[in-house]
Structure 1
């Protein structure tokens, strides 16, 4: 199959899930192109971006999008013969306007070049917001193929709160399939008006081969490393991890909190750790590439993911790094948030606590530190569950099955 992946930004180090699908489809013998609305940071990229030459597969749509918005408003025919060649209709006035503005003319030429490309079987938009941006390009006939939209969290929570519950109305009608990454988001989509028969839940998987399982045991020093990974934004709940950690320190536990990631809340979180007198035991690593994150996970004993609904309504789907932590054998403590209970089995592969409940978070972390004999059992359970339900090789085959049903 010939497949177009459409993303908001590429490359983006935090969106490993895009790489997992793209590379998986390439390995399965499919032809994949990547279209991105903006350029990411090419100085810090995932190793697979270089390995598979993905930067050579990217075509940037950022100049194209603004042109399509202008052209969409005018579909007057310049000539029947010309409109058939380019696949859309322009008025003479618009053509003159584009010609006078060299920048706009270059965008138009870029658009015509894309129009000349062979059609795709599948156009896969990562995130509902990307689907909305892409829709005008499909309407104008620049791209053809079955339109698939994947919901991942923020796009169907915070974005809907900002724009209103009818924001996806047209997309629900025109796209051919919607793939939320968990049952929770699937139910949200249906509640917003998405036809149930257009929904196929496809969980976001990880490459289990890249995560070496290791049984966790308490070190001879008794010093415990607790890891947390994610952007330093509200929905990650890192504030509550720091507060829970301060409770542990007051109880006399020998532990260190390793915070991996960067974001707008970094300064505030560093100040909080000082206010709570735990700054010497809380390490802020900043942003790390994926291989570096895995290295830190391998050195940790426990993992915490205290996700919450942020003040602006942003929610997770299921954090990929939580799957990665379980894959390497870490007992985890997380929250009853979004799709996380579909991943973490309370009391089996880890513990779940209510959102923003720092006392319960501290209690469960303390219980794990006091009972290292359950670490191996929890780690094994987590690894087995990931291999069974979140193995990217299995999920990419399911993705291909969904594609094939659409193009029959």
Structure 2
């Protein structure tokens, strides 16, 4: 079986379940993970992880020792770091972009930005998680014929569909994601402040960890929402599934940061839809490719606190709409976002790129 170098400089942050789902389901080649830092191995167990050496010569030596036939760089920054390795080994290289690694705004002072055009010239293939991001890659100068849109999938066996009660009291809204500015949680808190005025029995749970925790905690206090909002932190897969099953509405109001950082298509939304939750989100990144407005959920412009509150309250008031949206959401993730199906597409790309490296 051919070996590929699956390069992720940190294996693996808790938000990157989508990478793990791909890795563990690949079975037509043997992925060897090369990483500079190992983390969360209890959450993402994988047996074949090697140290990613510093220095091009050392990496080349290791790849040759392992008889690597293809390089799969996870995130654009890894692709940029491996350009010289790719040139000297003449190995085919696939680079997967995911969001932050392809900002909207360019800076000539940013070394990474200056190197991206060369990566697009010498790289053999690039995957992106949405058509929205495909256009961003083209805008940066990547040849369209080198780009494959490959939606990242989820393990549907871990997220069971649940037909929820038709209630308007004690409604639970859940939000899941890294506590980062682009997730828009500060706007959600401001919107939820309006919601509890009309629906004081409603509750909000935010699941995740990150640099914004302190600011969000302060905002919760300033808005007098301590009684209504819980910052849950990081939870296990089984805990996440249980929490989604106990919720009634999922909300992720993603925004574009001032640096131009955007989402691809958040896996957290896919997982929520798999359990039958209706979604309130924003017209941002690739989200409209997953959630069609007034079908699987409701979409509002970025940073629109007023509309965000109105859409949440509309779903609280209309439980039958919530159930119908949840049914459509489950059907969509089954059709287009099942990890076991998506990984076969990835294997087809590997096969094509290694055609001359038998």
Q: Does 1:212 align with 2:203?
A: no
Q: Does 1:152 align with 2:98?
A: yes
Looking at both structures, which has the greater relative contact order when contacts are Cα pairs under 8 Å and sequence separation is at least 6?
A: 2
Q: Which residue of 1 aligns with 2:76?
A: 128
- Alignment match of 2:68 (pick from 97, 119, 128): 119
* Residue segments in structure 2 that go unaligned for 5+ positions in a row: none
Q: Which residue of 2 aligns with 1:295?
A: 242
Q: Which residue of 2 aligns with 1:8?
A: 9
- Alignment match of 1:367 (pick from 311, 314, 320): 314
Q: CA 1:386 to 1:41, structure 2 compared with 1: closer, same or farther past 3 Å?
A: closer
Kindly report which structure 2 residues correspond to 1:148-297, keeping only aligned pairs within 5 A, or say none: 148-157=94-103, 160=106, 163=110, 166-219=114-167, 222-297=169-244
Contact 2:103-2:259 at 8 Å conserved across structures: no
Q: Does 1:59 align with 2:50?
A: yes
TM-score by length of 2: 0.93
Q: Which residue of 2 aligns with 1:90?
A: none
Relative to total residues, which structure has the larger helix share, 1 or 2?
Answer: 1
Contact 1:179-1:199 at 8 Å conserved across structures: yes
Rounded Cα–Cα distance in structure 1 between residues aligned with 2:341 and 2:349: 13
Give the structure with higher Rg (CA). Answer: 1
Q: Which residue of 2 aligns with 1:17?
A: 18
Q: CA 1:23 to 1:159, structure 2 compared with 1: closer, same or farther past 3 Å?
A: farther
Question: After TM superposition, what 4+ stretches of structure 1 lie above 4 angstroms from structure 2?
Answer: 158-162
Which secondary structure does the structure 1 equivalent of 2:32 belong to?
strand
Contact 2:177-2:183 at 8 Å conserved across structures: yes
Q: What is the total number of aligned residue pairs between the two structures?
A: 352
What is the CA distance between 1:274 and its match in structure 2?
1.1
Rounded Cα–Cα distance in structure 2 between residues aligned with 1:404 and 1:242: 47
Q: Which residue of 1 aligns with 2:35?
A: 36
Q: CA 1:355 to 1:171, structure 2 compared with 1: closer, same or farther past 3 Å?
A: same
Range with greater deviation from structure 2 (129-138 or 275-284) = 129-138
Q: Deviations along 1:187-206, whole A, 9 cap, x unmatched? A: 00001100111111111111
CA RMSD of superposed structures (Å): 1.9
* Residue segments in structure 1 that go unaligned for 5+ positions in a row: 72-107
Range with greater deviation from structure 2 (3-12 or 265-274) = 3-12
Q: Deviations along 1:193-233, whole A, 9 cap, x unmatched? A: 001111111111111121100012235x8201100011111
- Alignment match of 1:346 (pick from 293, 311, 317): 293
Rounded Cα–Cα distance in structure 1 between residues aligned with 2:97 and 2:205: 30
Contact 1:165-1:192 at 8 Å conserved across structures: no
What is the CA distance between 1:370 and its match in structure 2?
0.3
